[in-house]
Amino acid sequence: MAHRYPVTWLMTDERLGDTLWRALRALPPGSGVVFRHYATPRRARHALLRRLWRLTRARRLVLVVARGPAIGEGRHAAPCSAGLTTWPAHDDREAIIASRAGADMLFVSPVHPTRSHPGEGALGAGRAARIGSRLDLPRIALGGMDARRFRRLRGFHGWAAIDAWRPCPDQKRKAVPR
């Protein structure tokens, strides 16, 4: 069965707080969500995931559950998404590992500087576009991404973000999905 891979993605984490629900409503149907609440205690994490699963099903969103560093060093898996396996790639070596492991798609990051990893160097658009470019895997741009930056980017199937989907009081513009 061929997967229809989402173009737009929301990466969740604890920083979203209650804005998670507004961010989910801002996503167009068919978008993807990567659930990454690593620091949330296990019982609360499972309760949150159950609530998220119901909402994503109702809104026709693809839900991927990330494995935390203690489980698989950031590798994503998707028991909630018909077996879709995503994988983070910060360089070609990681992209090749992902391909050999049977990943369905790559999240290439960080394309631009990001609040999630302050002070870390960004790949830049050109270098990010080369990561995994020889592999037959859809690539999702992650790190400082928004719809405007995605439209200018070449070589990627889609884009993912946290802050682009968050309502920010100091920003008057709304995230535009495509």
Task: Per-residue pLDDT tens, the chain, 178 aa: give them.
Answer: 334 789 999 999 898 888 999 999 889 999 999 998 888 998 999 999 999 999 999 999 999 888 755 434 445 544 455 578 889 999 999 999 999 999 999 999 999 988 877 777 899 999 999 999 999 999 999 999 999 999 999 999 999 998 888 765 444 444 444 4
DSSP, collapsed to helix, strand or coil, labels residue 45 as helix
Among residues 163, 143, 141, 161, the alpha carbon closest in space to that of 153 is found at: 141
Crossing angle of the two packed helices 19-26 and 42-58, in degrees rounded to 10: 30
Which CATH code is given to the segment(s) 8-165? 3.20.20.70
